[in-house]
């Protein structure tokens, strides 16, 4: 079993874009006891920035923000390629609303337009439905993000999961690490395609076994694999790397009754506080892959980001 700490799935996250203290607190008092986490934006620009960074499950926007109207915020988010189109947006108004206002909000991409006072039970039922729908959409999309040979994430899938995991790590100011691993196929003896495939499958199985449910495991190339490990600091990723190498190299791969020893190389990158990192999660993954390709023989290359300082020492 992996030793790095378990990271349970976070509750659904609601971004509240509301500068009215009484209104925001009223919504928080409804959401919190029913399992929702919330993050607050006090201006429209702050709401757009937070939506890009934390990837909320739902966005609730007050129609009368001090700098940008709620409908304009909705339009900007729907046009933003960094904001998932499957994210539900609810626009609220504190006063009576006309049919024209409702239609304008829906045309801007809102899933719902509500007036206050809010019916709490009705709101919770709608949010539950919206979150389920969003997750079902994401699950369907994930089917095209998988590597058909291994069932792991492909490169596109890894990039997407990196953004999602990075958004959560940034919100929680948590550490984040990425590991890239590959067998040394040129050193395996026979060098046949069948042997290479068996060795790559062996590495794939080890990565799958060693990963936690909160980790994302994927295939970067023909025989290159990666693990994105949330809540794993630079010391924790070193332990993970050692366990991966022990598992990969601990037993030979048998082909046609003949045992073949397996050696591997590893690259990794980690940050102790992702909120302070100068790079995003996809770049962190790319740096681990780059470190892997810099490794010579059975070596491990570390690309550790200490907030803004990058170090690349070589460790055997």
Give the pLDDT confidence of 149-163 residue by residue, as tens digits.
788 999 999 999 999
Instruction: Indicate whether 175 and 243 sit together in one domain.
Output: yes
User: Exposed, middle or buried: residue 292 (CB in 10 Å: 0-12, 13-18, 19+)?
Assistant: buried
Instruction: Indicate whether 162 and 279 sit together in one domain.
Output: yes
Angle between the 44-54 and 70-79 helix axes, to the nearest 10 degrees?
30
* 301 vs 104: which has the higher pLDDT: 104
Instruction: Indicate whether 183 and 275 sit together in one domain.
Output: yes
Instruction: Indicate whether 197 and 219 sit together in one domain.
Output: yes
Domain boundary among 106, 123, 142: 142
5 DSSP assignment: P
Please count the structural domains in the chain. 2
Strand order through the sheet with 13-17: 37-41, 13-17, 58-62, 89-93, 112-115
Q: Which helix (H) or strand (E) holds 242?
A: helix 234-249
In a domain, 6, yes or no: no
Instruction: Indicate whether 258 and 127 sit together in one domain.
Output: no
In a domain, 242, yes or no: yes
In a domain, 67, yes or no: yes
C-beta atoms surrounding 250 within 10 Å: 9
pLDDT of the residue at 180: 96
Instruction: Indicate whether 36 and 98 sit together in one domain.
Output: yes
pLDDT in tens, 226-256: 999 999 999 999 999 999 999 999 988 888 7
What average pLDDT does the segment 66-79 reach? 92
Domain boundary among 142, 171, 191: 142
Instruction: Indicate whether 46 and 168 sit together in one domain.
Output: no
- Sequence-separated (6 or more) residues with CB below 8 Å from residue 298: 184, 263, 264, 265
Question: Model confidence at 302, in pLDDT bands (50, 70, 90)?
Answer: low
Question: Model confidence at 64, in pLDDT bands (50, 70, 90)?
Answer: confident
Q: What is the pTM of this model?
A: 0.58
* 180 vs 80: which has the higher pLDDT: 180
Distance CA 207, CA 198 (A): 14
Question: Model confidence at 84, in pLDDT bands (50, 70, 90)?
Answer: confident
Distance CA 128, CA 286 (A): 36
Domain boundary among 98, 120, 142: 142
Instruction: Indicate whether 182 and 303 sit together in one domain.
Output: yes
What average pLDDT does the segment 93-100 reach? 84
pLDDT of the residue at 147: 85
Pair of tokens at residue 208: 């799958």
Distance CA 238, CA 25 (A): 43
Distance CA 71, CA 93 (A): 11
Residue 82 pLDDT > 80: no
In a domain, 126, yes or no: yes
Backbone angles phi, psi at 184, to 5 degrees: -90, 85
Q: Which helix (H) or strand (E) holds 53?
A: helix 44-54
What average pLDDT does the segment 34-46 reach? 93
Instruction: Indicate whether 138 and 157 sit together in one domain.
Output: no
Q: Are 45 and 69 in contact (CB under 8 A)?
A: no
pLDDT of the residue at 11: 87
**Helical spans, DSSP H, in 60-98:** 70-79
Instruction: Indicate whether 98 and 160 sit together in one domain.
Output: no
C-beta atoms surrounding 176 within 10 Å: 30
Q: Which domain holds residue 70?
A: 13-142
Strand locations in the chain, DSSP E?
Answer: 13-17, 37-41, 58-62, 89-93, 112-115, 176-183, 216-219, 225-230, 253-255, 258-260, 264-271, 300-306, 309-311, 314-315
Strand locations in 141-286, DSSP E?
Answer: 176-183, 216-219, 225-230, 253-255, 258-260, 264-271
What average pLDDT does the segment 106-110 reach? 93
Backbone angles phi, psi at 191, to 5 degrees: 70, 15
Residue 273 pLDDT > 90: yes
What CATH number has the domain bearing residue 203?
A: 3.30.70.270
Instruction: Indicate whether 82 and 227 sit together in one domain.
Output: no
What CATH number has the domain bearing residue 29?
A: 3.40.50.2300
Instruction: Indicate whether 219 and 263 sit together in one domain.
Output: yes
Task: Please report the sign of the dihedral spanned by the C-alpha atoms of residue 266, residue 271, residue 274, residue 276.
Answer: negative
Angle between the 44-54 and 155-172 helix axes, to the nearest 10 degrees?
130
Pair of tokens at residue 69: 């109207």
């Amino acid at each position: 079993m992996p030793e790095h700490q378990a990271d349970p799935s976070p509750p659904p996250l609601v971004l509240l874009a509301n500068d009215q203290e009484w209104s925001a607190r009223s919504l928080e008092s409804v959401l919190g006891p029913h399992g929702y986490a919330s993050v607050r934006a006090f201006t429209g620009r702050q709401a757009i920035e937070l939506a890009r960074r934390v990837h909320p499950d739902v966005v609730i926007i007050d129609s009368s923000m001090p700098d940008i109207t709620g409908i304009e915020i909705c339009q900007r988010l729907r046009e933003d390629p960094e904001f998932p189109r499957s994210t539900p947006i609810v626009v609220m108004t504190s006063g009576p609303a006309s049919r024209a206002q409702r239609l304008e909000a829906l045309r801007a991409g809102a899933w719902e337009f509500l007036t206050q006072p809010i019916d709490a039970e009705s709101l919770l039922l709608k949010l539950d439905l919206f979150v389920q729908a969003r997750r079902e959409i994401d699950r369907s999309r994930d089917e095209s993000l998988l590597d058909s040979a291994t069932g792991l994430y492909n490169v596109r899938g890894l990039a997407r999961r990196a953004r999602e995991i990075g958004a959560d790590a940034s919100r929680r100011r948590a550490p984040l690490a990425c590991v890239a691993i590959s067998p040394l196929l040129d050193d395996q003896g026979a060098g046949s395609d069948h042997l290479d495939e068996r060795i790559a499958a062996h590495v794939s199985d080890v990565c799958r076994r060693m990963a936690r449910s909160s980790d994302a495991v994927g295939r970067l190339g023909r025989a290159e694999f990666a693990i994105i490990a949330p809540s794993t600091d630079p010391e924790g990723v070193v332990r993970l790397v050692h366990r991966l190498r022990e598992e990969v190299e601990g037993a030979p791969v048998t082909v046609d009754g003949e045992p073949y020893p397996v050696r591997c190389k590893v690259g990794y990158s980690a940050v102790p506080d992702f909120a302070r990192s100068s790079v995003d999660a996809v770049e962190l993954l790319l740096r681990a892959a780059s470190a892997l390709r810099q490794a010579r023989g059975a070596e491990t290359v570390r690309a550790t980001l200490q907030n803004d300082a990058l170090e690349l020492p070589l460790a055997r």
